[in-house]
Amino acid sequence: MIEIVTYPDPVLKRKAELVENIDGDIQDLIDNMSKLMYQSSGIGLAANQVGVEKRVIIFDINYKEKGKDLTVLINPTIILAEDRIIFEEGCLSVPDFQGKITRKKYIKAQGMDRNGKSIDIEAEGLTAICIQHEIDHLNGTLILDHVSHLKRNMYKRKIAKRMKRSNNGKTKLL
C-alpha cells in the first residue's frame, strides 16, 4: 500500500517524468492513489505525493459522492490560463498548513486518461485550482513556494521542531 509523502521529503521538489507506457503498474498506481485520496479526504493527488516520479494526477472535487467524478490525467499540461483567483489552499503533503494562493481562475488542460485516450479539460473555480495545484506537484512546486518568505519559514521551523522531537534531535531540516 502506498502512503502520502510529506514535506520535507525531497521527492516533492523533483520534477516528475513523462509516462511513456500506460501499463499495469500505472493502472495499479492510479487505483491505489484514488483509494488513498478518498481515505485521506483529499480532492486531488499527484504521483510524486506517493513517492512515484511519474506525471500522473487524479482529482475529484465532488468529495460528497466519492468516486463519482474521479478524473485521471496522465502527462497533463495547461494550454490556456486566464483571470486570477485567490483561494485558501491546503495540501495532503504539507500537513497543518494553509495559505492564500493566487491561481488562474479558468484553464484549459490536456493529457491522457487511464486508457491512453487524449482528453481536453476546460475548468474554472475549484476544479481549475485543483488541477493547477496537482500539476505544480509534478513540477516540484509546493504551496509553500507560493506564500511569503515569512510564512514559509514559520512552517519550516514548526516542522523542524516536530522532527527534532520525533527523532531525538538526530534529523535536521534543510
Residues 137, 93: contact at Cβ < 8 Å? yes
Residue from 3, 65, 124, 134 carrying the catalytic annotation: 134
Q: Which amino acid is at 145?
A: D
Dihedral angle sign, alpha carbons of residues 135, 136, 142, 148: negative
Residues in the chain, how many?
Answer: 174
Does the N-terminal peptide bond of residue 8 adopt cis geometry, omega within 30 degrees of 0? yes
Active-site residue, 17 included: no
- Provide the annotated active-site residues: 134
